[in-house]
Structure 1
Amino acid sequence: MLPKSIHPSLEPQPKTIHTKATITSSLTSLLKPRFSPQNPRTWIIFTVLFIQILLLCNLRSFSSSIPTPLPSTVVHHSSRAQDQCGSGKVFVYDLPRTFNHEILQNCDNLNPWSSRCDSLSNQGFGQSAAALAGIIPEDILPAWHWTDQFVTEIIFHNRLLNHRCRVKEPESATAFYIPFYAGLSVGKFLWLNWTAVERDRHCDMMLRWVMDQPFFKRSNGWDHFITMGRITWDFRRSVDHDWGSSCIYKPGMRNVTRLLIERNPWDYFDVGVPYPTGFHPRSKSDVTLWQNFVRTRQRNSLFCFAGAPRRAFRNDFRGVLLSQCRDSGESCRTVNCTGTRCSNGTSVILETFLDSDFCLQPRGDSFTRRSIFDCMVAGSIPVFFWRRSAYLQYEWFLPAEPGSYSVYIDRNAVNNGTVTVKNVLEKFTKEEVRQMREKVIEYIPRLIYANTKHGLEGMKDAFDVAIEGVFKRFKEQEQPEFHKWK
């Protein structure tokens, strides 16, 4: 047997080694006759390749010009959110319940003489005004309530808790709301012999809590605001034995914006907001129906006055107006509001305003009256005798030109007999009265507080106007030219 190493079948075969040069030479020799410029196939192949390359480039350019499709809901939602909260975002402090909820729970004890539970019920709107049936359209009747004039604290608190721009993280807030029911808490202490300490107790406790919060310390209160549901003078006691609380004069309140139903025109931090009326629409259609109703209402009296004389006041101007009204015969209607007859509105008051072209608005115990807003909501044109009754109070809510919606009569001329109210009002033509009434009707949405969690879709009510105003002033305060004291 032959050794394995030399067995013919197992003997190693010689390898053929192909170098790069050998391969290239072989391919060239193979393809040269096929791709020769003289060969027609060469031109056909190059032409096809060129067309394919050209089409590919054009297709890429065309596809890049088509925008990448995005879900329409996503785009709409993001732009809508930006639009809705472009003015600012609000953080609502979670105050201890003793400053708001417990005050409401003790509604039986908020007045020295009677319970306030009915008037503060229904989230502050009060009982349904069923007695207005037959006076106003049936479709709008559910939007009317017997609303107390001192409930803005409840209304603002409830709306801010549901505000579309409310944030739970204070770091992202533009404004900080303090939900302290200052007006309700001090109401019971305004009469009888309560001490200064008792009248200030709730305010002092609240300020100790708020001033300890990091975001109050950061701004020293400049981006904080509060609703105080009474007139400013109820919180401006300068000495212990005087009227009211000294809450506004406390150091912690110095830089806090205050929304009040009557402001001090010379205090930057006071902002006047409309008194609550009885009309709280549930939708934009409620407002439109009401506007059309008051626009087409037949009015049989030239002017009216709802109020009572102030006989304890020297030279009581209300008494003068009542006397002129009686002397005017059927041209004037009066409503006797002696005592508390008109405190939360009555069907007689609304009917009187609805039937009159003009309504007289002298000052009350202070310069403003809820009657101003009851009158305007009814489409009646207000007649003022003090500029501080409206023109220096509610700039965010009323037309800039006073003569477009109201009449001003010099009270001194009325007092000394130089003019009579009737003679002044009779000089307005029907067209002038119509134009003034139309301006009043146009502004009704800005004077009322809606009965909804999120406001009126597509329409701003008094709450919306107030919050937008707060956001705007806080942004203005951040401008370099705005001077802030420490």
Structure 2
Amino acid sequence: MKRHNAGDLPLSAPAGDGSGGKRAVEKEEEAEDKMDKYDKGRIRCSRLCFLFALAATVSILARHCYAAGLGRGGNAGVVRIEAVHASPPPPSVRQDRKIVPIARREPSVSDHSPSAPVDAGDDASWKPSASEPAASDNGGKTTSSKEKHSPSPPRGSKYGGRPFARALASADNKNDLCGGQYIYVQELPARFNKDMVQHCDKLSPWTDMCRYTTNGGFGPLLRGGKGAFQGTGAGWYDTDEHALDIIFHERIKRYECLTDDPSLAAAVFVPFYAGLDVARHLWGNNVSARDELALDLAHHIAGRPEWRAMGGRDHFFVAGRTTWDFRRKADGQAEWGSKLLNLPAAQNMTALVVEASPWHLNDVAIPYPTAFHPASDEDLFFWQDRVRALNRTHLFSFAGVARPGDAKSIEGRLVDQCKESPACALMECSTTGPDNKCESPASVMRLFQSSTFCLLPRAGTDTSRPAFDAVLAGCIPVFFHPASAYVQYSWHLPKSHTDYSVYIPEEDVRSKNASVEERLRKIPPEVVGKMRDAVVGLIPSVTYSDATSRLETTVKDAFDIAVAAVISKVTKLRRGIVDGRPEEEKIERYSWKYPLLGEGQKAEDPHEWDPLFN
């Protein structure tokens, strides 16, 4: 109890009354005891309230930090918000082309399509497993995707339990900007692609391929060109015609609709550098070495769940060489190429090559890469305007060399005709050596830009890169065999070949000694003008653009067209399976005809080119 001094006693106590004063003092002391206890209780209460308030504050802060991503290692400060769009979805990323002078052949998936899978593998129970590796660029980095708004198909939907049900449901989802366009990149060990680039000095026995593997397969940057491509800025590279394996893979890595979910994919890309692989062994005697990696690939992918979904019929790969480099039948040392495209696994996949077979169904031809890789639409449109306005001083031109030992070749006759005509510009190529002008992009472009027509006979193979150099230069192609273009690039060139080119049968030149100059002079000027406009309009279709710096595009290039056609092919096949419509059975020997057929026509019907493909 608190003690008080005399001076502290209350003055109200009656003087002289000892007992009354004592009681007053005791009451006062009891009152102060109660106040002391109240003060202590209040202090304890304040402390508890403070602790409760502090705990609540910490809890709120913790929730806020978690929602803001502070607790997700490496993602500090990133807030993930799944928006609900009440308004209509934004328009598609890709828009219509600005320049479409003529209609290309529809990317008909029936052009080259295997009739039946070797391993049907219609495994309805397959679902992607969390343990399966995600798609990557083979550099250990998982590819991001845009499939966040792609729901699984509803119960009882027409797609049922098909392994590709989610992919078809995504294609029907109008709110998904990438619906029906997703690509899954099959993860492969580095020996199938990256190791070849790292050991580029072993890709060719006589060519320094290391310079051509730079810049994503475009090769060294070209400058100047002595007027051939001056004024166009960047976008010109010394590109090797067989570098398409690398170029296509680099573009796939930047494709807008990649997914790491194979069940959502409209198609599966297999990044196997088949062209680079076979080139290492083509001129050697070790036949087993030519097939080693191809057999390894078939074994690697055929056992995966992605493959079992459709037996590989939704898979595709790129081989930047002609089909004949991959169709060896016998195992003799004198036989050319590997047997990649004859393997059962490859027969189910779609092979994109620079020259396809007219008698097989598992490959499709896409354009050779040229030296022009524009980084923007403006660069492309500038080039189109430039070549359209050129003053062409020669009626026709030819870059080639006589082949006296080749009885089928008409190049010697064309060289002779060109030499005899003042209307022709001739560039005689050497078959070997570093002074071959035909290997210089600037020299070829100068020649073709000076001419109205460019002569493009068959050389070592049916097709050649100069055909696309001619289109790039705005020069009207003159073909002498339908296998040089008309039955090859069905996704990229118009069905009506007379809209953009001239056809002179090589037999007319060989046997009848037909004058090329006379044939060309008979074409009316107004028709020539329309054909040149058509050729200039085709430039985007045969160009592989530089996507590394592109922010926006309105034009479909050769890559875009090829990917869209593969997806269309796979989607048509899947919908046919769902609807119970079996795919049309095709006869391989007529495979060259299918892209050319009109309404109601059959492959068995007579065609003027039948004798050329017997």
Q: Distance in 2 between matches of 1:292 and 1:276?
A: 21
Q: Is the 8 A contact 1:109 1:188 kept in 2?
A: yes
Give the SS at the match of 1:200.
helix
Taking structure 2 as the reference length, the TM-score comes to 0.65
* More helix by percentage: 1
Q: Secondary structure at the match of 2:258?
A: coil
2:528 to 430, 433, 436: 433
1:105 match: 198
1:239 match: 330
Partner amino acid, structure 2, of 1:279:
F
SS at match of 1:225: strand
Residue identity opposite 1:233 in structure 2: W
CA distance in 2, matches of 1:221, 1:155: 23
| Residues in 2 aligned to 1:213 and 1:235: alpha-carbon distance in whole angstroms | 24
**Residue 379 of structure 1 aligns with which residue?**
474
Q: For residue 5 of structure 1, what is the aligned residue in structure 2? A: none
Structure (1 or 2) with the larger CA radius of gyration? 1
Aligned mate of 2:189, from 83, 86, 96: 96
- Could you say which residue in structure 2 is the equivalent of 1:464? 560
Q: Is the 8 A contact 1:384 1:407 kept in 2?
A: yes
**Deviations 1:328-377 (CA, angstroms, capped at 9, x unpaired):** 1x200111221252565432211010000000010121110100000111
The AA in structure 2 aligned to 1:249 is N
Alpha-carbon separation, structure 2, partners of 1:446 and 1:439? 12
* 1:389 paired to 2:480: no
Which residue pairs with 1:307 in the alignment? 400
Q: Name 1:198's counterpart in structure 2.
A: 289
Selected match of 1:156 from 248, 253, 261 = 248
Residue of structure 1 in register with 2:120 after alignment: none
2:234 is paired with a residue whose SS is helix
Aligned residue number for residue 27 of structure 1: none
Which amino acid counterpart does residue 261 of structure 2 have in structure 1? E
| Aligned partner of residue 123 in structure 1, secondary structure | helix
Q: Is the 8 A contact 1:148 1:344 kept in 2?
A: no
Q: Note the alpha carbon deviations across 1:148-179, whole angstroms, 9 max, x for none.
A: 00111111111111211110111211111100
1:443 alignment partner in structure 2? 538
The TM-score normalised by the length of structure 1 is 0.81
SS, match of residue 191 in structure 2: helix
Higher relative contact order (CA 8 A, sep 6+): 2
DSSP-derived class of the 1:360 partner:
strand
Matched, 1:361 2:446: no
List per-residue Cα deviations over 1:62-106 (Å, max 9, x = no partner).
xxxxxxxx9889744487685742442110011101110000011
Match of 2:318 in 1: 227
Equivalent position of 1:424 in the other structure: 519
Indicate yes or no: 2:386 matched with 1:290.
no
* Residue 263 in structure 1 maps to residue 353 in structure 2: no
Q: Which residue of 414, 422, 432 maps to 1:321?
A: 414
- Quick one: distance in 1 between partners of 2:438 and 2:338? 22
1:255-297 per-residue CA deviation (whole Å, 9 max, x = no partner) reads: 1001000001232221110000000000000110000000000
* Pair 1:258–1:332, CA change in 2 (3 A): same
Q: 1:180 aligns to what? A: 272
Query: Match for residue 21 of structure 1?
Result: none
Change (3 A) 1:185 1:264: same
The answer to whether the 8 A contact 1:450-1:456 is kept is: no
Residues 1:482 and 2:578 are matched in the alignment: no
How many residues are paired up? 413
Q: Distance in 2 between matches of 1:220 and 1:96?
A: 21
- Deviation string for 1:361-407 (max 9, x for gaps)? 10121110100000111000000110111000001101121000000
Whichever residue aligns with residue 254 of structure 2, its letter is N
Determine which of 489, 508, 513 is the counterpart of 1:413. Answer: 508
What letter is aligned with 1:213?
R
Contact 1:225 1:258 in 2 (8 A): yes
SS at the partner of 1:476? helix
- Percent identical among aligned pairs is 36
Q: In the alignment, which residue of structure 1 is the partner of 2:214?
A: 121
1:274 to 359, 367, 372: 367
**Deviates most, 80-89 or 282-291:** 80-89
Task: Give 1:141's aligned amino acid.
Answer: G
Question: What secondary structure, in the 3-state scheme, does the structure 2 residue paired with 1:316 have?
Answer: coil
Alpha-carbon spacing, 1:288–1:86, altered in 2? closer, same or farther (3 Å): same
Question: Could you say which residue in structure 2 is the equivalent of 1:217?
Answer: 308
- C-alpha separation between the residues in 2 aligned to 1:445 and 1:179? 24
**Structure 1 residue 111 displacement after superposition:** 0.6
Letter of the structure 2 residue corresponding to residue 231 of structure 1: T
Question: Aligned letter for 2:383?
Answer: W
Query: What code does the residue aligned with 2:425 have?
Result: R
Aligned residue among 167, 173, 176 for 2:259? 167
CA distance in 2, matches of 1:283, 1:180: 28
- Asked if structure 2 preserves the Cα contact closer than 8 Å seen for 1:284 and 1:457, the reply is yes
Pair 211,362 (structure 1): closer, same or farther in 2 beyond 3 Å: same
